[in-house]
Chains A and B, each alone.
Chain A
């Protein structure tokens, strides 16, 4: 995965984004994407 690749809008694509986050522990990255990120994009 290259950082300039496009993310995929599928459930698997969401998991790939979570797996790509190397600056947070896995559990935190999962919470940040599923809660915090989804919250900011829907504002």
Chain B
């Protein structure tokens, strides 16, 4: 099949899946991040591949697409550029090439009494307080070099999805990000521990922050919807959920859900959708998620029992579920049996993907990935559409 035909077929399957309609086959999505570097025949380390060598990264991404032919990709090689850390120092990502691991240091770079300052003048706060805390002294030369590195990445960021679409018929997954600011407060400013304490001891700070940030974040989402051609993307937005992993249902309702409730109203208005990469669990928040209208959200899950979640959320498209424990350690027959069980058990409104980001070499063997992908692409659920 030519790239154009494949692109059209993939877009149609995704659109029908989102609306919970039966399809001729299941849409497959690669959740491979650094695993594709370690799987490559180029035999390069994670730190070499994420060193701003975009020609190398393009080869790795092409190899992944050509070998496995997934319908969509969460990552096109744009994540984890460690060149900035070499130039500026002080970055939070630490790469261990022996294990292929990228660890994040949980720093506290904003103090508890600085919420208002951060909210009222983000630019000034980051420049005057955040950067010196994180990097110490920087020279003009370091800033210039970081900017030049940033400019080098731009062409790859725009070209790789275009190459994937034009040469391989891979649709672009999303147009923009739907990310309320509280995620940054958690992962970049206050850190896991201090943020957790803030939720219990300083909830008024979070209330004030969320009240100020929600309209701003929604305004950014509206701007994306107003300025992009929705037919060029599978979903309007991508949203990475992590902060909810330290929240209970009450906290989720208070600080995370208001933005998403309003966002889904906006998506309904614009006939668009959001692809949510939900780390940890979604189940504790199923009551709220069940309010999302059909066709507006894909929920890519990690630790949830996928069949239980299907029952709790019959109108939400769910992605994921294929255990990396099997892909990495079982034989191919066990993998294809599990893929069949997932597709048959989930029914319409299911996107086949892995149950966590593929990161380490032991997350999957090439043999199992190939066998599973071959099975899924050729399997006709319930005899096809």
Contact = CB atoms under 8 A, between A and B. Distances in A.
Interface residues of B, number: 30
Contacts of A4: 139-141
B84 A11 contact: no
A11 B134 CA distance: 18
Given A21-B147, A37-B147, A41-B134, A9 B140 contact: no
Given A9-B131, A13-B127, A42 B184 contact: yes
Given A9-B127, A41-B88, A43-B188, A21 B139 contact: no
Is chain B's binding surface mostly helix, strand, loop or mixed? helix
B134 A5 contact: no
B148 A23 contact: yes
Interface size band for A: 20 to 34
A6 B148 contact: no
B123 A34 contact: yes
A36 B60 CA distance: 26
B215 interface: no
Given A20-B144, A32-B150, A36-B147, A7 B128 contact: no
Contacts of A7: 138-140, 143
Interface of B: 84, 88, 91-92, 122-124, 126-132, 134-135, 137-141, 143-144, 146-148, 150-151, 184, 188
A42 B148 contact: no
B41 to A, nearest CB: 30
24 contacts: A1-B140, A3-B144, A4-B141, A6-B138, A7-B140, A7-B143, A9-B131, A9-B132, A13-B127, A21-B147, A32-B147, A32-B150, A33-B143, A33-B147, A37-B143, A40-B150, A41-B84, A41-B88, A41-B126, A41-B130, A41-B135, A42-B126, A42-B184, A43-B91
